[in-house]
Amino acid sequence: MKKILPLLLMGILPFVLFAQQKCPNILIIFSDDHAYQAIGAYGNKIIPTPNIDRIAREGALLTNNFVTNSICGPSRATLLTGKYSHLNGYAFNERKFDFNQPVFPALLQNSGYQTAWIGKLHLGNLPNKGFDYFNVLPDQGDYYNPDLINNKNGTLRYTGYVTDIISNLSFDWLNGRDTAKPFFLVVGEKATHRVWMPSVDDLGAYDNIDFALPPSFFDGYDGRAAAADQDMTVAKTMRLQQDLKVHLDYTKDDGYNRFTPQQKKVFAAYYDKISKEFDSKHLTGKELARWKYERYLKDYYATAKCLDRNIGKILDYLDKTGLAKNTVVIYASDQGFYLGEHGWFDKRFMYEQSLRSAFVIRYPKVIKPGTIVPQFVANIDWAPTVLDIAGTKIPKDMQGISFLPLLSPKKNVVIPWRDEVYYHYYEYPEPHHVHPHFGIRTPRYKLIYFYQGLSTWELYDLQADPQELHNVYANKENNGVIADLKQRLKKLMEQYKDGEALGILERAQ
């Protein structure tokens, strides 16, 4: 028996090593404020995004991917924990995320993965577990010549444009990694966060395009008290100097004072021309709002152009190194974003453009190219899905569900799945005076309750009113629908253990 055991182990060991080698690498490209409606695969016909579209074409596109709290840091906290904000403790931006709580990359490490996060993290704290390597921007970071903090030799300043730098640092890590292990890498992009500073290579890239105003741009917010009370309009909130670079003061510490002389020369030449054009028009009222909207989109899309180009570089790297065959590639944004809808930029509201987020995934030989996933997925599901892909056990206290079965469905097999999502936003009053609210989204209806500073319900029939312009909560014919939605909303709060919201809901009845 003593001789047989070593022989058995010798027979098992190659199998174990083979299994480890076959564990897929997992790469997440995680952008900031990149609107799904800005992407070709999601229907944008004006601005090309060939590399994001490639991931969707060669894999799957989620058409109903929702976030649970539409704001940057909390979305990242949900990614790491698979839990709602009230349980992971990170409901507001600019706080300190508790890395002592369970985070899923640590589980990947235990399963033999080598892990890294490179680029924007924006959680107020540096990781003390979960990542073998990190090299992250402090806070929001800078577009030009940024500082990055790494766990090997501290803070270093890099010369160049942040999106290019993040890609190059990712390639450096991939080239030097332990090739005996599968890897998990998050490429955290700063683009397309405010203020939108395109690469010098992309300045004016879309100046030849006249962007049509969204139908709801001059929204009057009738019947929507919270929407009328916000501070995030293109017309009033967007700043001519800092955001749109009209008569830019390069001495201010908004990232503009970090330029090299050559960068400043190219940047200033372009925006000095824009400033002269603006001065010559003498715009006021709606015409001024239209001009600001055009400038906003030109800079936003030019910033996104470098993002998509670098995604192409990453895909090319995987192809050239042979890693593409066994690497899952995910592209997602931390939440949606308004590109002029309701007259807004930013996110936060439970309305569709910020609630819904881009998510495309490629998994060779598992996901059939061109797959469309219409089921309701939430960002609490992302961590369980990555763990499922890696063959790692999903903790019972994670609130999400692996949607891997939706990505590679078996023929004639119906997969039971949710048909509703729960949302809860907290941050108030700064920086955009969006009242805290929670709600439920179903295939046809959206019910929202705004609290703190006001107390008001909103109901939208998304089938009849996809732009969410008509609050029909007061219509008596909807009483049955409202009662059903409130009951379902209460059950979701109980399911997700949101005790604070349950108390507010009971008082609001």
- pLDDT tens digits for range 264-294: 999 999 999 999 999 999 999 999 999 999 9
Q: Read off the amino acid at residue 260.
A: T
Q: Are strands 327-333 and 25-31 parallel, antiparallel or unpaired?
A: parallel
Whole-number pLDDT of residue 6: 38
Report yes or no: 86 and 424 within 8 Å, Cβ to Cβ: yes
Residue 28, both tokens? 């997440």
- Show Cβ contacts of residue 506 under 8 Å, excluding neighbours closer than 6 positions: none
Whole-number pLDDT of residue 19: 39
> Any idea which residue has 């930013």 for tokens?
346
**160/258 Cα distance (integer angstroms):** 10
Query: For 328-384, what is each residue's pLDDT tens digit?
Result: 999 999 999 999 999 999 999 999 999 999 999 999 999 999 999 999 999 999 999
CA angle 462, 431, 334 (to 5 degrees): 55
Task: List the helix and strand counts (H, then E) for the chain.
Answer: 14, 16
CATH code: domain 22-196+303-407 is 3.40.720.10
Residue (of 232, 259, 227, 277) closest to 159 by Cα position:
259
Provide DSSP, 268-294: HHHHHHHHHHHHHH---HHHHHHHHHH
Query: For 10-23, what is each residue's pLDDT tens digit?
Result: 333 333 333 344 79
- Domain boundaries in the chain? 22-196+303-407, 421-508
Going from the C-alpha of 170 to that of each of 77, 187, 317, 355, 479, the distances in angstroms are 22, 7, 10, 29, 54
**354/71 Cα distance (integer angstroms):** 9
Instruction: Report residues of the chain scoring pLDDT below 50.
Output: 1-21
Query: For 447-490, what is each residue's pLDDT tens digit?
Result: 999 999 999 999 999 999 999 999 999 999 999 999 999 999 99
**105/113 Cα distance (integer angstroms):** 9
> Any idea which residue has 């709600």 for tokens?
439
The structural architecture, per CATH, of the domain 421-508 is 2-Layer Sandwich (3.30)
Whole-number pLDDT of residue 488: 98
**pTM exceeds 0.75, yes or no:** yes
Going from the C-alpha of 145 to that of each of 190, 236, 243, 307, the distances in angstroms are 13, 31, 19, 16
Provide DSSP, 16-54: HHHHHHHSPEEEEEEESS--GGGSGGGT-SSS--HHHHH
- Three-class HEC string of 231-251: CCECCCCCCCCCCCCCCCCCC
Whole-number pLDDT of residue 255: 81
**314/170 Cα distance (integer angstroms):** 9
Whole-number pLDDT of residue 253: 73
Secondary structure (3-state) at 107: helix
**65/358 Cα distance (integer angstroms):** 7
**101/88 Cα distance (integer angstroms):** 8
Residue (of 367, 332, 381) closest to 27 by Cα position:
332
- Show Cβ contacts of residue 450 under 8 Å, excluding neighbours closer than 6 positions: 225, 226, 435, 436, 437, 456, 457, 458
- The phi and psi torsions of 332 (rounded to 5 degrees) equal -150, 155
Whole-number pLDDT of residue 415: 87
Report yes or no: 230 and 432 within 8 Å, Cβ to Cβ: yes
Helix axes 162-176 and 285-321, enclosed angle (nearest 10): 20
